[in-house]
Amino acid sequence: MSAQANTAPAGRCTLPCVLGVCLFAGLLLLGNRLLADPDTYWQIRIGQQILETGSLPRTDTFSFTMQGQKWISTQWLAQVLYAAAFTRAGWAGPVVLTAASIASAFAILAWFVRRRLEAAPTLVLLMAALAIASPHFLVRPHALAMPVMVAWFAGLIAAADRSKSPSYWLLPLIALWANLHGSFILGLALIGPIALDVVLKVDAPLRVRMLLRWFVVGLLALAASCLTPYGVESILAARNILNLGAALPLITEWRPSDFSRLGAFEICLLLGLGAVLFRGLTFPVMRIVLLLGLLHMALAHVRNVTVLALLLPIVIAAPLAAQMGRTDVVAKPGRRSCGIMVTAALIAVAVMSSFVIMTNRFAPASYLAPAVAALKERGIARVLNDYDFGGYLIWSGIPVAIDGRTELYGERFMVELDDAMTLKSPDALFNLLTSQRIDATLLRRLTPAAQLLDHVDGWRKVFADENAVAHVRDPSARHTAEPEIKPASN
């Protein structure tokens, strides 16, 4: 009996440690895959600017379309961490930092779920989460916020599993989250439904007291989330992204999930639904509400698929354990065995990180470099660029028309720009070229606006490859000729 008691906690520590180290190693092997997002460039550049100036941005300095407009960076801490890592280790620095953060998030998730479920169902949930979330493993601030989000949510759910109020020691997590990424708003929003889950479980005489305790935690969490250099402005700025309206579908990560092709998300969703129907699983009302809420977010916006992958196992772990007959859902792991495993994992991570930094073989694809060089040779100052090209232009020191800071540009500008790029409005492109005094364009080769400029007098193509095409304003450029008209034959 005592032997089982000693080995079970060790097993619950082994899986998280092994998973974390293996995932970390796997992400390092796919290092350049983590650098595939064009926003990585401007995220690091903003961090460099903060370190160079010793102050945080409050107005835009990178675009010519919104120059001087009010803008704050709700991701400033993540950007600084990335910039510091880049300064110390080149592109290997951000890759190692991101890989360690993602691996930590899944290790925390594995630790939470493994305490409640046996190894087999735990592995099923973790593998599904990895498959769903893996497309979003990128060097971006949301990756650094992942372990904080998982730890915060796990802390709230753990309190709910015990029918208690959460510990005040969780409050530093929401403060840290608020400085890393604007998604901390979700952390605040989740307090309410989880509190209601607890209130519905406790005896009626205790409900008012329990509700007050969670209400106090909610107020303190709101106050903690304002502990940023911007104060309450961080909350308002995060809300501005959701107010983009018609512009949201124009951004890939804010589009609805696409099931036109079979993917990991759809496969896991169907298998999960089949398992529930086959086993006849039932969950408490508020856990169902949380599940459906997370699912709705993932279906509505692609970027929230990762949120579903990381948080859904936490929501269903304890109810699933109860369905399977497990009762020791709050068992505490042995400190000594866990300490040994954690120490071994940290050593392995340190060794792999050192090796990767020394080899320093990572670099993002620079397919825009020739096109940007062609524009720089001509001293171009105002470039009408594709949305995804903004990051590299900022990195190259060229003012942009638009980039990934969507909350800066707003709904109206983004919709008008899309109308111009896709030629939805006949005059939209030419009005934009005139009103913004555009000197050059750098667009995807198949963009309708780029193809049109091939035939417009006053614009000369100076670069083209399979990825991008660049045009510059040149009054001497001529592409038209009077058509030859032949008289009709009798």
Question: CA 456 to CA 419: how far, in whole Å?
Answer: 18
Q: Which amino acid is at 182?
A: G
Q: For residue 444, list its beta bridge partners.
A: 468
Identify the weakest region by mean pLDDT among 193-202, 306-315, 353-362, 381-390.
353-362
Is 438 buried (19+), middle (13-18) or exposed (0-12) by CB count in 10 A?
Answer: buried
Instruction: For residue 473, give both structure tokens.
Output: 């304003």
Given pLDDT bands bounded at 50, 70 and 90, which one contains residue 338?
low
For residues 461 and 471, give the distance between their C-alpha atoms in angstroms, rounded to a whole number.
4
Q: How far apart, in whole angstroms, are the C-alpha atoms of residue 448 and residue 470?
A: 13
Mean pLDDT of 443-453: 91
Q: Which residues contact 355 (CB under 8 A, 6 or more apart)?
A: none
CA dist 216 to 191, 197, 221, 222, 307, Å?
11, 16, 8, 10, 26
For residue range 110-155, list pLDDT tens digits in order.
999 999 998 889 999 999 999 999 999 999 999 999 999 999 999 9
Quote the pTM value.
0.90
User: In 3-state terms, what secondary structure has residue 368?
Assistant: coil
Is the pLDDT reported for residue 407 higher than 90? Answer: no
User: Between 26 and 490, where is the model more confident?
Assistant: 26
State pLDDT tens for residues 356-372.
665 667 888 778 999 99
Compute the average pLDDT of residues 254-277: 90
d(CA 90, CA 80): 14
Q: What's the chain's average pLDDT?
A: 87
pLDDT digits (tens, 9 = 90+) for 201-255: 888 888 999 999 999 999 999 999 999 999 988 888 877 777 777 888 888 888 8
| pLDDT of amino acid 481 | 54
> Which of the four pLDDT bands, split at 50, 70 and 90, describes residue 431?
very high
β-strand pairing of 383-385 with 440-444 = parallel
What average pLDDT does range 327-332 have in this prediction?
49
Please compute the mean of the pLDDT values over residues 253-275 and round it to a whole number. 90
399-423 burial string, b = 16+ CB within 10 Å, else e?
bbbbbbbbbbbbbebbbbbbbbbee
Cα 419 to Cα 17, 246, 423, 455, distances in angstroms: 50, 12, 6, 19
Distances (CA, A) of 115 to 3, 68, 112, 309, 394: 18, 52, 6, 18, 46
Query: Taking 70 as the threshold, does the pLDDT of residue 5 lie above it?
Result: no
Q: Are strands 383-385 and 459-464 parallel, antiparallel or unpaired?
A: unpaired
